[in-house]
């Protein structure tokens, strides 16, 4: 079940998704963090950030809306308080960072570099969160423009260059041309892409006319997001055959994970499913392992990108039929 995400080797392709597993080893109360591919921590900023007023979560028809509002203890407190517990748990750690300005991405990078330059400890990669939907105004959503995406990534990449860690740019599905934004992230210094963050949504109490989340709008995640994530991964893999890609969005079971790998992801992240069951990431891994064996795949690498190697034939009604050499037909559960 090993996989490679660019230069990073992982024992398996299932990670937690940023923002759904705490800042440190919180999920360790429910599962052995060392058994995951990696733990991606909730995004950290230069200064501590209080986040949005409650309520912050709301069930949606096929998932969840959140408006957490980037709450975090600040990078310095995280380095002091959370990294030791993650290291003792044997986790491989992906540090997600966010900023309100290009200068913030540089500063958070500088602080990480100062702290980790002698020993990277459990940290295997950085994730640049440039796509939180719950920022105060849309101008601050870096991932909505190629220029801002490239500027944020360049600032972070410059600051963390001495660490030699890859940066994955976490992008937003709320854009017209995701491939263009992905290209700007890679050109700016990202070694990989994490696809995708939540979709911008809103829930209203029609009686009062007020938003139901304390922060106003929110980000939609869960099964409703899954086909959007599959499309994003597919399109970006098509455009950037050698980029590292991590797929995230509505992974609730092993089949969903396999679908993202087939679309071209090198690894996947599990997020909203952990709100239903904190052990979900390991269940997804067990199901994916079983799925690979049942479908005759000898390694994760064999699954990655199968949809781009398919032999597609046209049926009389114009729909694509997928024939994959050497494997039995797949059916969604």
Query: What are the catalytic residues?
Result: 132
Other Cβ atoms less than 10 A from the Cβ of 4: the count is 15
Stretch that binds ligand RRO, among 33-41, 125-133, 161-169, 247-255 (CB under 6 A): 125-133
Stretch that binds ligand RRO, among 61-69, 145-153, 161-169, 279-287 (CB under 6 A): 61-69
Contact flag: residue 172 with ligand RRO (CB under 6 A): no
Q: For helices 102-116 and 146-160, give the axis angle rounded to 10 degrees.
A: 20
Would you count residue 272 as binding ligand RRO (CB under 6 A)? no
Number of residues that bind ligand RRO (CB under 6 A): 14
For ligand RRO, which residue has the nearest CB?
219
Is residue 15 within 8 A of residue 247, CB to CB? The reply is no
CB closer to ligand RRO out of 67 and 307: 67
User: Is 44 near ligand RRO (CB under 6 A)?
Assistant: no
Cα 286 to Cα 12, 29, 144, 252, 297: the distances in Å are 10, 19, 36, 12, 15
In eight-state DSSP terms, residue 294 is H
Left if phi > 0, otherwise alpha if psi is -120 to 50, otherwise beta: which for 6? Answer: left
Cβ–Cβ under 8 Å, residues 31 and 282: yes
Residue number with CB closer to ligand RRO (70 or 159): 70
For 35, the 3-state DSSP assignment is helix
Own/partner pairs, 299-302, CB within 8 angstroms, 24+ separation: 299/1, 299/2, 300/1, 300/2, 300/3, 300/12, 300/13, 300/261, 301/3, 301/4
Check binding of 306 to ligand RRO (CB under 6 A): no
134 vs 154, beta carbon nearer ligand RRO? 134
Least separation in angstroms between CB 151 and ligand RRO: 18
Q: Spell out where 196-234 has E strands.
A: 199-201, 204-205, 210-211, 218-221
Q: Does the footprint of ligand RRO cover residue 174 (CB under 6 A)?
A: no
**Which is closer to ligand RRO, CB of 218 or CB of 278?**
218
Q: Which tokens in the block code for residue 142?
A: 């870096």
- CB 172 to ligand RRO: min, Å: 9
SS3 string, 154-186, reads HHHHHHHHHHCCCEEEEECCCCCCHHHHHHHHH
Q: Which stretch binds ligand RRO (CB under 6 A): 60-68, 157-165, 181-189, 308-316?
A: 60-68
The 183-202 contact track toward ligand RRO, x by CB under 6 A, reads --------------xx----
Task: Rule CB under 6 A: say whether 262 interacts with ligand RRO.
Answer: no
Among 28, 189, 201, 219, contact with ligand RRO (rule: CB under 6 A):
219
Helix 146-160 to helix 178-188 angle (10° resolution) is 30
149 or 198: CB nearest ligand RRO = 198
Helix axes 226-239, 254-263, angle to 10 degrees: 30
129 near ligand RRO, judged by CB under 6 A: yes
Options 38, 95, 124, 132; binder of ligand RRO; rule CB under 6 A: 132
Q: Which residue, 73, 79, 70, is CA-closest to 123?
A: 79
Residues between 66 and 95 that touch ligand RRO (CB under 6 A): 66-70
139 vs 321 by CB, closer to ligand RRO: 139
Would you say 70 or 261 has its CB closer to ligand RRO? 70
- Distance between CA 132 and CA 221 in Å, rounded? 12
39 lies in the site for ligand RRO, by CB under 6 A: no
| Residues contributing to the site for ligand RRO (CB under 6 A) | 19, 43, 66-70, 129, 132-134, 197-198, 219
């Amino acid at each position: 079940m090993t996989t490679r995400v660019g230069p990073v080797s992982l024992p398996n392709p299932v990670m937690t998704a940023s923002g759904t597993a705490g800042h440190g080893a919180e999920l360790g109360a429910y599962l052995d963090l060392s058994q995951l591919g990696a733990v991606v921590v909730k995004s950290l900023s230069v200064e501590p950030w209080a986040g949005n007023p409650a309520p912050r979560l709301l069930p949606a028809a096929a998932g969840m809306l959140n408006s957490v509002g980037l709450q975090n203890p600040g990078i310095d407190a995280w380095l002091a308080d959370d990294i030791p517990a993650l290291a003792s748990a044997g986790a491989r750690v992906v540090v997600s960072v966010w900023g309100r300005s290009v200068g913030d991405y540089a500063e958070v990078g500088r602080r990480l570099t100062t702290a980790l330059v002698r020993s990277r400890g459990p940290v295997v990669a950085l994730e640049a969160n440039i796509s939180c939907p719950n920022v105060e105004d849309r101008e601050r959503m870096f991932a909505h423009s190629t220029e801002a995406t490239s500027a944020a990534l360049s600032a972070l990449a410059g600051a963390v260059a001495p660490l030699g860690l890859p940066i994955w740019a976490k992008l937003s599905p709320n854009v017209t041309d995701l491939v263009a934004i992905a290209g700007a992230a890679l050109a700016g210094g990202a070694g990989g892409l994490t696809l995708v963050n939540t979709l911008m949504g809103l829930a209203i109490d029609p009686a009062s006319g007020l938003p139901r989340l304390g922060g106003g709008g929110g980000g939609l995640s869960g099964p409703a997001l899954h086909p959007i994530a599959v499309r994003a991964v597919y399109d970006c893999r098509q455009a950037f055959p050698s980029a590292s890609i991590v797929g995230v969005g509505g992974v609730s079971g092993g089949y969903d994970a396999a679908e993202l790998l087939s679309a071209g992801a090198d690894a996947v992240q599990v997020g909203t499913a952990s709100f239903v069951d904190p052990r979900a990431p390991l269940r997804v891994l067990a199901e994916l392992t079983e799925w690979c064996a049942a479908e005759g795949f000898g390694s994760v690498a064999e699954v990655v990108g199968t949809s781009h190697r398919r032999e597609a034939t046209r049926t009389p009604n114009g729909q694509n039929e997928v024939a994959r050499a050497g494997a039995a037909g797949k059916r969604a559960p």
